[in-house]
Amino acid sequence: MFNSSCTDRNTNAAQTIHDTVYLDKKSDSSISDHQLTGTTVLKSSSKILDARWVHGLWLEDLKSSECLKPQSETPSPTEITSIKQTNDSILIITANIYENCGYSFLGEIEIVTDNTLNLIYHGYGGYAMCNCCFGLTYKIELIKDEQYKFDKLKYLTINGIAKVPLPKLK
């Protein structure tokens, strides 16, 4: 609903204008498929699609913890805390990051220099006057197909930092 007051140029009398705009939700669900809310994966980004179709890695899910530790004088460094291959085709990676308390996160993955899996997060959303340590959990599906060779991957980073060796993927 839009309300506005203005003066009629001819009479100098105040007039109130009421206007209402109704938006119908289209039956095409593709419009709502692109809304970003909370911590989520950027499913159609070029990095995600390249990781899937060129390297056989699909970022299936990204989860964020609540604030693990509030701001301190010496912030926790960004670090990869766990790498587990839960079965033949699922890789679970957890990391701790230090970001704004009001953020949610958007996730991507990419392969850099042909041997490093880089986990990517983008903080967005609200803004607070503090920082927190958050835990991020990346769930990556390993596409089992003879064209994909996971033995080339030797390292893991998050946003290009915290480089650690990547265990051999089965």
The answer to whether 2 touches 19, Cβ cutoff 8 Å, is yes
Pull the structure tokens for residue 117.
């899996």
- Gyration radius of the chain's alpha carbons: 23
Strand 90-100 relative to strand 131-142, pairing = antiparallel
Tokens of 37: 């809310």
pLDDT of residue 27: 47
What would the mean pLDDT of 144-165 be, rounded to a whole number?
Answer: 92
pLDDT band for 146, please (50, 70, 90 cuts): confident
pTM of this prediction? 0.78
Two tokens, residue 83: 């790498």
Decide: 118 and 107 in contact? Cβ < 8 Å: no
CB 116 within 8 A of CB 104: no
- How many angstroms separate the CA atoms of 60 and 90, rounded? 9
Least trusted range by pLDDT, from 28-37, 56-65, 114-123: 28-37
pLDDT one-digit tens code per residue, 45-101: 999 999 999 999 999 999 999 988 877 777 778 999 999 999 889 999 999 999 999
Strand duo 103-112 + 40-41: pairing: parallel
For residue 86 the two structure tokens come to 């839960």
